Structure 1
Amino acid sequence: MLLLLLAVLGMIFGLRDARAQTVTQQVGPVTVSEGDVLELGCNYSYSATVYLYWYVQYPGQGLQLLLRYYLGDPIVKGIKGFEAEFKKSESSFNLRKYPVHWSDSAVYFCAVSGTVPGTAGGAEHKLCET
């Protein structure tokens, strides 16, 4: 039986002059058997309208955007068979893939960004230390 080791880290996007926002994910590596369902939790804290993202970083590569949510259908389809479900009542944006393959071994990042009227400039971002 082949086991996959998936690392997860949280990413915070902070906007200048915006309210505090955070992202919480599972800490450390996640082990999943090939062919099983991969589920990674992501909870956020932000009271305004949010953009939510899942990124992946495969070994030796840069970050790739898997999927993003901003209004609309709560089930978001991404690349390579990934999907995420937005649940406003639980402040969650959980990532899923079935079936998972050994090639899905990577570091996964959940991110949140908000919109604030009158905010100029881009978002600052940093990795959460977990």
Structure 2
Amino acid sequence: MAFLLPATVCGTAVLINFITFYYHAIQFGTMVAVTCICLFVILPLTLLNSMIRLRPLAQLLANPERAHETPGGDRFLLNNMKLQAALEVELLRRLKRAEMESLRTQKRAEILRARRKLVYT
């Protein structure tokens, strides 16, 4: 599974290289070099990494440890929710204040336009 994404990316790179080679945008040697980097560097390193990472994961799944509840976990979650709600309220207040300022500015502009019309007519 870990090999699937890099293989897809490398395959896409090779396909794009063939298209650009067809339109004479890159040289053949450049296309071969990029393909070799994908095939002989990126993919083997990804495969090696996935093999190394799976051993500790298999050991962990074979011997699961008991999960301990965090002391005060519910209070921590509740405090975070209160903080988020307070931040949202403050954000809404600021947006409303900015909206009111925008409306005031528009009204002032309309009044100035009306005064200019009266002065110039």
TM-score interval, smaller chain: under 0.3
- Find the structure with the greater CA-based Rg: 2
The answer to which structure has the higher helix fraction is 2
The answer to which structure has the higher strand fraction is 1
Relative to the length of structure 1, the TM-score reads 0.18
Q: TM-score, normalised by structure 2?
A: 0.19
More relative contact order, 1 or 2 (CA 8 Å, 6+ apart):
1
